[in-house]
Structure 1
Amino acid sequence: MMTVNPNQPNLKLLLVDDDLDTRQMVTILLKTAGLEILTVGTGSEALALLGIERMDIILLDIMLPDVDGLNLLETIRRISDIPIVMLTAVSHAEIMQQAYILGADDYIVKPFTREKLLDRIYRLANKTTAPVQTLVPSWTRHYWLDADNHILVHNGTAIDLSDVETLVMLRLMASAFQAVSELDLYKSSWGNEPVSLPTRLERVENAIQGIQLKLEDDPAQPKIVISAPEGYVFTPESG
């Protein structure tokens, strides 16, 4: 049965992947969601198709037989601002960082679920086509959290976070410019584990310090994740 999201625009996607099984699987996933998809197995085929077909989003693998996917990304970026999602088994932080620097809009590591792929596609489509008043905050161009892979991308630099640091950042970023209490951060990151209040506060403080060490230019004088009387605040425009 076809499951179509009626609130999404008609989208035409190009998948560039040399693996036939992946092309067939993604084709089925997207077509059952009511999306149009074309697939090719090489970079040269992708460039040829882009010369004659209008695409809304490109799904791009890194390991292609005739060209490195990152080189293809760079080539496409020179001629087009079409949204590009890297869809690859390569999960190294350095490669992910390079992809964002070269202009990738998103990065999904294989294997992935149907829900995750569609969510990323729809979010990117909405971000691209939404009217001005509903655009995402400008700071999201400089900070992006890949919670699945525990990586915070800041101005194109991939920062590895621990599991707990990822959950803390996720909560802080959801309330940017607003103070989040230590107990709120603890509950969203550790759940309702029965430990003493001092232990909860210590765990949160350690996680915050770990984030500051990795994110701040001067962890001793943080400007991005800062303390406040009510807890901690994520202030992205200071970064």
Structure 2
Amino acid sequence: MKKILLVDDDLHILQLVTIHLSQAGYDVIQAKHGSEALERLQEEDIALAVVDVMMPFIDGYTLTKEIRRLYDLPVILLTAKSQIEDKEEGFAAGTDDYLVKPFEPKELLFRVQALLRRYAKEDDASVIKLGQTIINKRSYEVKVGTKTLLLPLREFELLAFLASNSMRVFSRENLIEHIWGLDYEGDARTVDVHVKRLRERFTNLTEDFHIKTVRGVGYSLETKR
């Protein structure tokens, strides 16, 4: 059951929206202001946040910026304001959608469902799983079991590209074109250096994959069958 964080200092809104989202199968986590919302975010695995703009302590714009800085989840802003300048401020803060009060709870539900579908599709496309190894192209992280690695950019891009095309052989020139670009003026042997570094990082860490040298051709990432 996906958890929705609902942040509003209006108890009527909290109760009304909670009823409709709960009936649709979501687990609603309530917070009455921004500070409490940040606590809930630390405690719970939140899939989406619905945030009121006008709140004490931390307003919705500021809270949205904090969510954007710390988490990767969609945000819907609720506000009584409908001026274009207010919407501009909301989108500048990083909100994914904007709903003006008063609103129909069903409309909010439709927007929640649409955003969750969109994020799910993005997650599917951005996450590569090789056994217990997870390569996340959005966060640029590689997780091997409980260990998280942050690789230098070119190493990450090379690993992600090979993993996305596992069991295919690429020449050094192919890899230079895909990772470094057509205007790269360095030696194609830079690929060898990056492959060597990746092997040093992962050979003793996981058996989920290995980067094989195909003599006279280039490299291929092979996965454990």
Q: TM-score range by the shorter chain?
A: 0.5 to 0.7
Structure 1 residue 12 and structure 2 residue 3: aligned?
Answer: yes
Alignment correspondent of 2:115:
124
What is the DSSP-based 3-state SS (H/G/I as helix, E as strand, rest coil) of the residue aligned with 1:64?
coil
Structure 1: 4+ residue segments shifted above 4 A: 131-134
Q: How many residues align?
A: 126
Q: Give distance in 1, aligned partners of 2:124 and 2:72.
A: 21
Structure 1 residue 71 and structure 2 residue 62: aligned?
Answer: yes
Tell me the C-alpha RMSD between the 2 structures.
Answer: 1.9
Alpha-carbon distance change, 113 to 77 in structure 1, aligned in 2, over 3 angstroms: same
What is the DSSP-based 3-state SS (H/G/I as helix, E as strand, rest coil) of the residue aligned with 1:111?
coil
Alignment correspondent of 1:113:
104
For residue 57 of structure 1, the aligned residue among 33, 44, 48 is 48
Q: Structure 2: which 5+ residue stretches go unaligned?
A: 126-225
- Aligned positions of 1:1-239 closer than 5 A: 10-130=1-121
Structure showing greater Rg: 2
Q: Give distance in 2, aligned partners of 1:52 and 1:131.
A: 24
TM-score by length of 2: 0.53
TM-score by length of 1: 0.50
Q: Give distance in 2, aligned partners of 1:76 and 1:131.
A: 18
Q: Give distance in 2, aligned partners of 1:132 and 1:47.
A: 23
Q: Deviations over 1:123-180 (max 9, x none)?
A: 101101026899xxxxxxxxxxxxxxxxxxxxxxxxxxxxxxxxxxxxxxxxxxxxxx
Alpha-carbon distance change, 19 to 132 in structure 1, aligned in 2, over 3 angstroms: closer
Give the superposition deviation at 1:97: 0.8
| Amino acid corresponding to residue 95 of structure 2 in structure 1 | A
Contact 2:20 2:106 in 1 (8 A): no
Alpha-carbon distance change, 131 to 20 in structure 1, aligned in 2, over 3 angstroms: closer
Alpha-carbon distance change, 133 to 46 in structure 1, aligned in 2, over 3 angstroms: closer
What is the DSSP-based 3-state SS (H/G/I as helix, E as strand, rest coil) of the residue aligned with 1:71?
helix
Alpha-carbon distance change, 45 to 21 in structure 1, aligned in 2, over 3 angstroms: same
Alpha-carbon distance change, 114 to 78 in structure 1, aligned in 2, over 3 angstroms: same
What is the DSSP-based 3-state SS (H/G/I as helix, E as strand, rest coil) of the residue aligned with 2:99?
strand
Q: Give distance in 2, aligned partners of 1:74 and 1:129.
A: 22
Q: Deviations over 1:41-68 (max 9, x none)?
A: 0111001111111100000000001122
Q: Give distance in 2, aligned partners of 1:17 and 1:131.
A: 28
| Amino acid corresponding to residue 91 of structure 2 in structure 1 | Y
Q: Give distance in 2, aligned partners of 1:47 and 1:40.
A: 9
Q: Deviations over 1:26-54 (max 9, x none)?
A: 01111111111011101110011111111
Higher strand share: 2
The percent of aligned pairs where both chains have the same amino acid is 40
Contact 2:75 2:97 in 1 (8 A): yes
Give the superposition deviation at 1:114: 2.6
What is the DSSP-based 3-state SS (H/G/I as helix, E as strand, rest coil) of the residue aligned with 2:50?
strand
